């Protein structure tokens, strides 16, 4: 559990730190609404502000997202402490999810909006925290599916399904 706890805490801290540092750099270096091409124009750094959620849904309700993010963070932390998971995918997924939620929560509380800047033009502009939430959620789902498969396989084995057939020939 100790190793899982360290991995969990370090993941949260790294995502939160990377998110806040990149957002601060964008706010100080790129005027609001401006785009700078990167990767030969395959992507852009675009300074955007989002007062809503993913895809700008419920724009203008930062208080709602403060409440939802706070609840998610507290619930995930309590779950981690109570369940004490050791599966690396699950621990990383929870750390990414909480770090990302915390990064956007800091923005909402501090500014009333989230700073977004990663722009691939075929998707809404996003940030490091958003990536943490999405990748973290994906890892949690993957860890759950793999755990279910392992449990099913173990259950199948304990039923004797893998035993060779017996009987007279």
Q: Is 159 helix (H, G, I), strand (E, B) or coil?
A: coil
15-54: pLDDT as tens digits: 999 999 999 999 999 999 999 999 999 999 999 999 887 7
Q: The pTM is what?
A: 0.87
Look up residue 126 and give its DSSP letter: B
- Band (pLDDT 50/70/90 cuts) for residue 167 is low
Q: Is 36 helix (H, G, I), strand (E, B) or coil?
A: strand
- Which residues are marked as active site? 116, 130
| Contact yes or no for 127/114 (Cβ under 8 A) | yes
The conformational region for residue 142 under phi > 0 = left, psi -120 to 50 = alpha, else beta, is alpha
Question: Residue range 76-83: average pLDDT?
Answer: 95
87-128: pLDDT as tens digits: 999 999 999 999 999 999 999 999 999 999 999 999 999 999
With vertex at residue 31, the alpha carbon angle to CA 52 and CA 125, rounded to the nearest 5 degrees, is: 35
Residues 6+ apart with CB under 8 A from 23: 103, 107, 115, 117, 127, 128
Which among 122, 131, 111, 109 is positioned nearest to 27, based on CA atoms? 111
CA–CA separation, 100 vs 96, rounded Å? Answer: 6
Domains of the chain, by residue range, sit at 2-153
Q: For all residues of the chain together, what is the average pLDDT? A: 91
| Contact yes or no for 22/106 (Cβ under 8 A) | no
């Amino acid at each position: 559990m100790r190793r899982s706890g360290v991995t969990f805490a370090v993941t949260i801290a790294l995502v939160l730190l990377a998110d806040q540092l990149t957002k601060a750099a964008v706010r100080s270096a790129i005027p609001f609404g401006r785009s700078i091409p990167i990767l030969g124009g395959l992507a852009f750094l675009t300074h955007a502000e989002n007062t809503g959620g993913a895809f700008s849904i419920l724009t203008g309700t930062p208080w709602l997202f403060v409440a939802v993010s706070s609840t998610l963070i507290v619930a995930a932390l309590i779950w981690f402490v109570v369940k004490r998971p050791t599966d690396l995918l699950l621990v990383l997924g929870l750390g990414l999810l909480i770090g990302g939620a915390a990064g956007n929560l800091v923005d909402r509380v501090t500014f009333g909006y989230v700073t977004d800047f990663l722009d691939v033009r075929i998707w809404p502009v996003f940030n490091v925290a958003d990536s943490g939430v999405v990748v973290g959620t994906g890892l949690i789902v993957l860890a759950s599916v793999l755990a279910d498969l392992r449990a099913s396989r173990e259950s199948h084995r304990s039923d004797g399904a893998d035993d060779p057939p017996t009987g007279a020939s």
